[in-house]
Structure 1
């Protein structure tokens, strides 16, 4: 059987739009927000959604069409197609979505119209969102897609494009704007996302005899300390489970949870306070944690476009509030957080994993990773073509060696020599050989991370990584990195190596008498003489001390300065006194 032409799906959208008298722009934009036009080979999402229109068994678009029926059953009744066809055939699925949008338009009392602006209520109904704010946010996102326009090749190799019409919806909020209804309660969210307050408990633990408490600390970060990082997590479980856990006093906490199917946000901890989410106390004190409903081994089921877009809006809001640069030294994954001590390195988390689409996320943030230097640049930024880049992984099933299903990835593999058969780089901090395991970060560089170039040889590029010269495949015709500018540092003259730290703590003399001194413990990693690493931020040594229940913690700040560096897959810190910044 011949493969469909690359523009076949585009024609399917046009035909379905004409048949059901839905503007093609509306149909394309809704589908883009539902699935980015992907079909996922007929596999359902965690919400039971199928195909480019993400039609579900559970969600009801219009109760009057078929009481209690899900979208698939409704679409079957409207089109005469079977539920099996709607699930497995992308063309049938698009027809079903168009029929549901047309039915929703009738249900809200509007006639079919060629004007996209007249479909706002129908789109909100199609979303299936229960909260009015979530339905409004979904609708705003659809119109944002139409205003911006989109084009991509989907997972079936189909090229689909949506041109940007002028004035698609005169009442829609802009991506970075402040449209929509005001939030209620103490939530700290942009008005362009749907957000509610579900507090994490700050209380003494039952049965504790020493005043122990959970599950976060009071602070005054708007006044006493800077917030420098936004940490992207996934929950490794459902929305319901995440909310149950964050409301337990004896569990950890984070500032926000984002729901998969529609990007709805729950805030749990005030931004001024310190949540316990990163597994590194220094990072906790300096960051905001965003938990995304999902499991890293099943990205198609969980990492939805609606959640990506809602998260990007929230991150832009936080970055503006705290003057956080929108780059991968400051917007990091949980898998980029360093272990605070040598003993903690092996137990650090690995989410959101190699399938999280950092390139798309930063496009939504308005900061795409593009070349900023010529072919002989001293720095490269990892940026493989996400959809086409499909390195094999193992460990997605019950057996560690079991291959994962083939999937797009934003990470490149790092070898000891310019040869795909060469061994993977060994992470000396973990003390084990690196593998292709989906949770093994030892020989992995991710999209947006920048490294100093050590050598170029044919189709391979060498970078300094974990104290070693390592190689990744970077052919000119299919590059997996872009040439960029960046500040670099190296060990000071006369030093054979300098230590790398997992937290930037102050010197002992900075601590007042009533605050216990925290040891400045180096990790097992070193920056060797002659090696170079990309500089992130220059920071003073800081320690957040919180002990007394009911009282805000205190910040101890020293005179010792550190530089954040992109040391490996995880960031690290070196003392300013140990290094020299090139060009300064």
Structure 2
């Protein structure tokens, strides 16, 4: 998807005015200040701007080094796309936009504002974070509406949860949890890759979404008839989940690349981009014999490697190994850096092979029939379980609470029919307000269903299989 960005309405100011520091002065919180200044200058909601950056990079500019798809800085400004547009809008040199956090944040804000102008968002609309959804989707540069929606939904999920991040210099950057209703516009009709059970059943792993890579990024084959599959290769994307899927969908290009699967950091969601019978271009000498799994994140930032990601990926690896008779050991499950002739370093020193292999082989709670998701991982950072109810042998519904923002969250975690779409539901009703429900045929869980209820009684419950639970109004004030 190519962007046509109008140069109207976005102010062009020198970086010295945007940063606002006297000569020689150093701010104690330079990134916090940069977000505030850029948001004010370009009239982009500050917390939304932070959410875009956090979704892209966890606020780590990686010392000016590019991501796998050519993106730079905390705002992931992409060469020949948003990076060049940012240079035009801010009059800043490319070198500053790539390596200086303040310049990069300013450039991202300028590009977002230009997209808002293209969408004709007036001053009132620009104050409403929900109205920026289409601009955020376009900022992604995604090659399909489904991936653009995936990208924007991720940004708004981070906005809803609130952000507490530490930059590489030790600065703390935070946003409060915000209840925002995104105005998806035409993206409401795009496939929702977060609901794989609603999409075409065209994947080898039933709980994965399906977003096919461009045909130039893999080789059509007939494995395992043509080539035996006896290896699984673990990668790290050097980029975001949505950005990686979009990169695989982009082609033809001089250096084609893809992997069979991509795993998300926050919740372990999985998207398949190449059928296992075909040869993805991911591991050089091992392309013919292996299945490749990419993991969202960067090798030099351990915050991406969540327990939920490990568990979800391990369940996928275990499934692949069982289907092809691959031994579950480190000879057959390897890192990209361990492939003969490889010049890559991923998954890197922060990847916990001991934990991962325990989950693959069934140890430490990661065994065969174990759901890789928990109520706390589904609801997000800061949520702790305060109540639960068994749903027969089919699952458990959990009520969680976030003491930082006063929000409750309900999630139903399945115990049976894992990886298969079965009737599952979760609901949360704050006294005096309309009940919110997530219901459908889900592979692992229903939810999260969140609501602000710091001083209110709540009614909560869910369904798994044929079992249901509904509480009375309780937990008043928690």
TM-score with structure 2 length normalisation? 0.48
Higher helix share: 2
TM-score with structure 1 length normalisation? 0.40
Pick the structure with greater CA Rg.
Answer: 1
